[in-house]
């Protein structure tokens, strides 16, 4: 009798385990299929379709970090900035120390000109990863748009010391220097940016202005 009970318990345990494995595999396959379709549509610049591939299964996987992160990116790419912000917020809630989610959320915030929030999130990133260049750049960018040019200069100088040939940092610091009346320094920075990307339209705008 005891032997039969042990055998029965073993059978139940094995059956339950196999059932759970089957469910996990089915979920993995469903997620993988959705992600693959989403990447294909994104490659074709069909951002709405790429988002829908994931949104169609979202209710089942709303606690999945990766699906929230990717939807944040796709919504930002399609110009749906508020939805992008919401998905990135959910991703941050799921993984509070994930810097990629923080920087993801900063993109739609910039698009909505929420510069105080950009600074706050960038400062949060610095508590996780001190001296991180992206955080310094975003603080510099946000302060530039808030016309806090000296503070912008301070953070962008930190960033450029680590990445002297970075296109975005050179341009942003160049504009900050220009706003501070430091035209020669701005010109030097724009010229570095030009060497990085000679045919870039943003660089051309800066060079044309500085040469007037």
d(CA 201, CA 207): 10
Same domain, 122 and 59: no
- What does the pLDDT average to over 112-124? 98
What are residue 72's phi and psi, to 5 degrees? -60, -45
Same domain, 73 and 103: yes
Among 4-13, 79-88, 110-119, which stretch is predicted with the lowest mean pLDDT?
4-13
Q: What is the DSSP string of 110-152?
A: HHTT-HHHHHHHHHHHHHHSTT-HHHHHHHHHHHHHTT-HHHH
Q: To the nearest whole percent, how much of the chain has pLDDT over 70?
A: 87
The pLDDT score that the predictor gives to residue 29 is 76
Of the three residues 82, 112, 142, the one that is the final residue of a domain is 112
Same domain, 16 and 56: yes
Contact 194, 203 (CB under 8 A): yes
**Pick from 136, 115, 114: nearest CA to 125:** 136
Same domain, 77 and 127: no
Q: To the nearest whole percent, how much of the chain has pLDDT over 90?
A: 83
Range of the domain at 29: 1-112
Same domain, 81 and 55: yes
The enclosing domain of 14 has a CATH number of 1.25.40.10
Of the three residues 51, 86, 112, the one that is the final residue of a domain is 112
pLDDT in tens, 64-105: 999 999 999 999 999 999 999 999 999 999 999 999 999 999
User: What is the count of structural domains for the chain?
Assistant: 2
Residue 212: pLDDT band with limits 50, 70, 90: confident
Same domain, 101 and 127: no
Q: Is the pLDDT of residue 22 over 50?
A: no
pLDDT in tens, 132-185: 999 999 999 999 999 999 999 999 999 999 999 999 999 999 999 999 999 999
Q: Determine if residue 95 is left, alpha or beta; phi over 0 gives left, psi from -120 to 50 gives alpha, anything else beta.
A: beta
CA angle at 120 for the pair 119 and 123, rounded to the nearest 5° = 85
């Amino acid at each position: 009798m005891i032997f039969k009970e042990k055998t029965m318990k073993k059978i139940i345990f094995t059956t339950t385990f196999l059932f759970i494995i089957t469910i996990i595999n089915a979920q993995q396959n469903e997620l993988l299929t959705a992600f693959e379709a989403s990447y294909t549509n994104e490659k074709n610049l069909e951002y709405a379709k790429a988002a829908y591939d994931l949104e169609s299964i979202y209710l089942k996987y709303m606690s999945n970090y990766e699906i929230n992160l990717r939807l944040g990116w796709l919504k930002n790419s399609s110009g749906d900035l508020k939805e992008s912000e919401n998905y990135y917020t959910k991703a941050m809630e799921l993984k509070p120390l994930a810097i990629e989610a923080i920087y993801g959320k900063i993109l739609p915030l910039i698009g909505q000109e929420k510069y105080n929030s950009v600074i706050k999130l960038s400062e949060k990133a610095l508590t996780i990863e001190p001296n991180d260049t992206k955080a310094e750049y975003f603080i510099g960018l946000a302060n530039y748009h808030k016309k806090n040019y000296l503070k912008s200069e301070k953070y962008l100088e930190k960033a450029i010391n680590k990445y002297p040939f970075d296109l975005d940092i050179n341009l942003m610091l160049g504009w900050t220097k220009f706003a501070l009346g430091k035209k020669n320094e701005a010109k030097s920075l724009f010229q570095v940016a030009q060497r990085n990307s000679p045919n870039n339209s943003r660089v051309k705008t800066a060079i044309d202005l500085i040469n007037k």
